[in-house]
Structure 1
């Protein structure tokens, strides 16, 4: 079950259209140029997300940090690069919790 603070973090993260769009894009990681099938395991590079979103590097990083803190994405560091993928298990838990409430 999600605490009130956890739900507030999720709703805050989802209140921004760009962050919602990033989550939609991450649902199909192979839609990003240059993605290889083996990349799906670690996610999409923040640079690729930034380019698709048309946002600055700091804004993109901030948005991804908010999504991570809300438990919606998982970050994986490889060298100097950070990759993001959706946390499907936590998203499923969230949807179940919302079904219980509504």
Structure 2
């Protein structure tokens, strides 16, 4: 995937209130998903089912949002038995925010 496509996927991922909410929830998994018993939400990630419940959406809707975040590189998804667990990729998110800050600065100073 080229850099332009990667950034457009990341922009698409950030252009949804639901996906931003997922990233906010995953920023503090212990606080939001401490009740998860199947795996440590901080070390292993958060079960997709719990994310769907937190958003009050159907599992397929949550899965679609999570897949877009995964394609953008903002989360990693790990399968264990029949469940999938999601974790934020802090380096990818930080890299995107740094890139966006540079792009906005260049645009503003060139304009």
Under a length normalisation based on structure 2, what TM-score does the superposition of the two structures give? 0.83
2:28 pairs with 1:32: no
**How many residues are matched?**
101
Per mean C-alpha deviation after superposition, the further-off stretch among 32-41 and 79-88 is 32-41
Aligned to 2:17: 17
Give unpaired runs (5+ residues) of structure 1: none
Per mean C-alpha deviation after superposition, the further-off stretch among 59-68 and 27-36 is 27-36
CA distance in 2, matches of 1:51, 1:19: 14
Per mean C-alpha deviation after superposition, the further-off stretch among 34-43 and 46-55 is 34-43
Query: In terms of Rg, which structure is larger?
Result: 2
Root-mean-square deviation (Å) = 1.7
- More relative contact order, 1 or 2 (CA 8 Å, 6+ apart): 1
Per-residue deviation, 1:33: 4.2
For residues 19-71 of structure 1, what are the alpha-carbon distances to aligned partners after superposition, in whole Å with 9 as ceiling and x for unaligned? 11111100010121414694311111001101010110111111100000011
Aligned to 2:90: 88
Give unpaired runs (5+ residues) of structure 2: 105-111
CA distance in 2, matches of 1:24, 1:95: 15
CA distance in 1, matches of 2:68, 2:50: 18
Aligned to 1:65: 67
Aligned to 2:99: 97
Under a length normalisation based on structure 1, what TM-score does the superposition of the two structures give? 0.89
